[in-house]
């Protein structure tokens, strides 16, 4: 077995928002570690830990990539939409019910009542409860007409916004100029 000790090319930034910063109170610290040899970003913060590995790319330096990524792309690499949004889901489901419901449900004249009942689903309902209640309110509804809206977790959104707002300009200045 051959073991080589290497000195990895890494860049680390630590962000700590000031009291006047928009992020203050949402994220008190975040450490961004860029592994330039392996094309990996690791973020440790008080709102969660996130990482993604792009792998080594012979055509572009990793920090150049980090200097040009946009918020949506980075958020999609570090996290996934997993936070259920009840109000948006109710609104989408009612819109679908009104637009398509009478065609296959044979509910002429009942759509407004069903829509009101969907909008009255308890504000504390989670995704599964929402689905069960919609099926109970609208018998025979096609599962594709039940709108399930999800957002990215707050912590992921916060560390990515901090990356774009504060770190990316520094990266562009130091590595892409």
Q: Reduced to 3 states, what is the DSSP secondary structure of residue 83?
A: strand
pLDDT of residue 141: 85
Q: Reduced to 3 states, what is the DSSP secondary structure of residue 96?
A: helix
Q: How sure is the predictor about 22, in pLDDT bands with cuts at 50, 70 and 90?
A: confident
More confident residue, 91 or 111: 91
- Whole-angstrom Cα distance, residue 47 to residue 69? 22
Q: Report residue 62 as tokens.
A: 């990793």
Q: Reduced to 3 states, what is the DSSP secondary structure of residue 41?
A: strand
Does position 107 have pLDDT exceeding 60, yes or no? no
Q: How sure is the predictor about 42, in pLDDT bands with cuts at 50, 70 and 90?
A: very high
Distance of CA 48 to the CA centre of its chain: 13
State the Cα angle at 50 between 55 and 75, rounded to 5°.
80
pLDDT of residue 102: 56
pLDDT tens across 48-82, in order?
A: 999 999 998 889 999 999 999 999 999 999 999 99
Q: Full-prediction pTM beyond 0.85?
A: no
Does position 110 have pLDDT exceeding 80, yes or no? no
Does position 153 have pLDDT exceeding 70, yes or no? yes
């Amino acid at each position: 077995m051959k073991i080589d000790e290497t000195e990895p090319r890494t860049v680390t930034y630590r962000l700590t928002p000031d009291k006047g910063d928009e992020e203050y109170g949402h994220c008190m610290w975040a450490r961004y570690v860029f592994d330039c040899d392996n094309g990996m970003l690791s973020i440790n913060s008080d709102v969660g830990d996130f990482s993604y590995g792009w792998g080594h790319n012979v055509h572009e330096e990793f920090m150049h990539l980090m200097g040009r990524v946009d918020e949506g792309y980075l958020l999609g690499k570090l996290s996934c939409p997993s936070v259920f949004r009840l109000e948006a889901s109710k609104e989408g489901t009612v819109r679908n019910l009104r637009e398509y419901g009478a065609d296959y449900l044979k509910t002429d004249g009942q759509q407004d009542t069903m829509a009101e009942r969907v909008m009255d689903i308890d504000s504390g309902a989670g995704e599964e409860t929402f689905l069960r209640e919609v099926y109970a309110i609208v018998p025979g509804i096609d599962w594709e007409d039940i709108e399930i809206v999800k957002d990215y977790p707050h912590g992921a959104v916060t560390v990515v916004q901090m990356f774009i707002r504060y770190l990316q300009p520094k990266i562009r200045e130091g590595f892409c100029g």
